């Protein structure tokens, strides 16, 4: 018997009896419960406050404001445009909820380009534990809107917030499978060169989130 044959013979001899589906399910459930016990405690009373604290932290580097309803998004965009000396024309994600808003003197019809200064969009949901935004690609949510502009301004429904990434995974199982799923946590940044943080290396250099109720 060769060394290879001896090794496989030892493996077959040591292999326990095959578990039943019920036993495998019980083991998986036990692993899931054990993982839950290792999760850090989080304040679940106000997911919007928890999300805001995470997203606006120094490491994540986004800015966050809260408005009453989605109808208050255009004034929020106008304030952001004025405070950052941007032009009033910008690319708008082709979501009907955004296209039907009253934009006033703003011009949300600019085409999305590689050098777009600003794009405005809306997230599928947010993960409070990490301050992450979740985007599912679709005709109403093209992926490039999340990556091309220098400034990305994102509306986020407070009702769509989930506590942890595991909660998003459970929620996503009820949805149609998209071609792309992107989790965006703050503005793009890298420290590849001499350990100095540079914003905008792989996507927007600024991320501003408007949470609406």
Q: The pTM is what?
A: 0.82
| Segments making up each domain of the chain, as ranges | 3-38, 47-212
In whole angstroms, what is the distance from residue 160 CA to residue 80 CA?
23
Phi-psi region of 164 (alpha: psi -120 to 50; beta: other; left: phi over 0): beta
Does the domain at 47-212 match CATH 3.40.50.1980? Answer given as: no
Q: What does the pLDDT profile of the chain (213 residues) look like in tens digits?
A: 899 988 888 888 776 677 788 888 888 888 888 887 887 788 778 999 999 999 999 889 999 999 999 999 999 999 999 999 999 999 999 999 999 999 999 999 999 999 999 999 999 999 999 999 999 999 999 999 999 999 999 999 999 999 999 999 999 999 998 999 999 999 887 766 676 666 666 779 999 999 999
């Amino acid at each position: 018997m060769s060394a290879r044959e001896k090794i496989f013979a030892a493996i077959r001899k040591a292999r326990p009896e095959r578990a039943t589906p019920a036993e495998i399910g019980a083991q998986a459930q036990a692993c899931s419960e054990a993982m839950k016990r290792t999760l850090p405690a989080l304040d679940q009373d106000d997911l919007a406050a928890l999300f805001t604290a995470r997203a606006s932290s120094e490491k994540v580097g986004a800015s966050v404001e809260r408005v009453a309803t989605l109808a208050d998004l255009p004034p929020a965009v106008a304030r952001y445009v004025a405070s950052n000396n941007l032009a009033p024309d910008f690319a708008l994600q082709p979501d009907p909820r955004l296209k039907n808003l009253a934009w006033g003197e703003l011009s949300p019809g600019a085409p999305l380009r590689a050098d777009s200064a600003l794009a405005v969009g809306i997230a599928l949901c947010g993960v409070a534990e990490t301050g992450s935004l979740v985007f599912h690609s679709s005709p109403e949510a093209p992926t490039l809107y999340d990556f091309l502009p220098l400034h990305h301004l994102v509306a986020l429904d407070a009702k769509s917030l989930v506590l942890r990434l595991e909660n998003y995974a459970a929620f996503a199982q009820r949805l149609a499978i998209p071609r792309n799923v992107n989790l965006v946590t703050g503005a793009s940044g890298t420290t590849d060169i001499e350990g100095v943080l540079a914003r905008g290396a792989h996507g927007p250099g600024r991320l501003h989130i408007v949470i609406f109720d």
